[in-house]
Amino acid sequence: MDTRGPLCVGIDPHASLLTSWGLNDDIAGLERFTRTVVEALADRVAVLKPQSAFFERFGSRGIAVLEKGVEEARAAGALVLMDAKRGDIGSTMGAYAATYLDKDSPLFSDALTVSPYLGFGSLRPALDAAVLSGAGVFVLGLTSNPEGAEVQRATAADGRSLAQVMLDHVAAENEGAEPLGSVGVVIGATLGDAGVDLAVNGPLLAPGIGAQGATPADLPGVFGAAVGNVLPSVSRGVLRHGPDASGLREAAERLTDEVRAAVQES
C-alpha cells in the first residue's frame, strides 16, 4: 500500500460484465477477461482480489483460469486476496486453509477472506496456516450488504455486538505486531459510522466503493482514526472501463489518488 497506493481491485467476471466487454460468457471469455485485468493492473495496484465464485461456476476449467491468474498476478508484484469467504469447522476448515494458504497449493494466495460466524475459534486452522506461510486472512466484521446486520449487529451476552466480539478477537491475534498484524477485518465503506472499535492493529478491507454507493470521501467518516489502515476495494468501478487496458489503469490510478487525498485530508 505504501509503495503502490491504497487500492484493492476485484476480479469479478460477472456474465453481464463479460458481455459488456464483448466477450462470451464461457471459458474463453473468462480467460481473456482475467488475463486482461492481470496484465493491465498487477504491476501497479497493491492488491488484486479475485472472487472465486465467478470462476467456480465454470467447474474445473474455471478453477484452472483462476490458478493461472493468481500465479501471474503474484509474479507481477501484486498481492492476491482470494475472496472466497470460507468458514467451517475442524478438518474441513483445515482443508480450506490448505487450499488457499499453503504455499504448495496451486491456489496459494497472500490472503483469504473468512467468515467467523461459526465462532472465531473455528478459524484457527486458517490463522495457523497463514502464520506458517507468511500470508494473512480478512475476517468478515461488518459487511456492506444490509442483510448482514441481523447477525453482525446482534448483541452478545456481555452487551457487545457480535461484530465487536470478532474485532476484539482479531485485535488479540494482532497484539504486538509491527507495523500491522496479518489478520485483517472486512468493514463496509457504505456503513456511515461503523459504530465499533476498529483499533485491531490490522488492515481494514473496505468494500462498497463505486457501484454500491460509497466514495473515497466517505472513508474518514466510517473509519475515523483507523482510516490510515484502510484498503478500499473496488470492482465494477474499475472493471467497467475495460476491455481497454489503458482505461483500467486510468480508473485505478484515479481512485488511488482520490483515496490518498481523502486519507491525507482526514
pLDDT by residue (tens digit) across 17-60? Answer: 999 999 999 999 999 999 999 999 999 999 999 999 999 999 99
What is the maximum span of the chain, computed from C-alpha positions, in angstroms?
54
Catalytic residue among 49, 68, 85, 103: 85
Residue 227, Cβ density class (10 Å: 0-12 exposed, 13-18 middle, ≥19 buried): buried
Residue 210 pLDDT greater than 80, yes or no = no
Q: How far apart are CA 208 and CA 205, in angstroms?
A: 10
Mean pLDDT of the 59-80 span? 98
- At residue 141, the 3 state secondary structure works out as strand
Residue 265 pLDDT greater than 80, yes or no = no
Q: How many residues does the chain have?
A: 266
- Report residue 141 as a C-alpha cell: 466484521
Q: Predicted confidence band at 184 (pLDDT cuts at 50, 70, 90)?
A: very high
- Report residue 234 as a C-alpha cell: 473496488
pTM for this structure?
A: 0.96
Supply the mean pLDDT for the chain.
95
Residue 203 pLDDT greater than 80, yes or no = yes
Q: What does the pLDDT read at residue 263?
A: 86
68 flagged as catalytic: no
**Separation of CA 232 from chain center:** 9
Residue 264 pLDDT greater than 90, yes or no = no
Mean pLDDT of the 5-27 span? 97
Residue 70 pLDDT greater than 80, yes or no = yes
Task: For each of the domains in the chain, give its residue range(s) and CATH number, in order of start.
Answer: 8-265 (3.20.20.70)
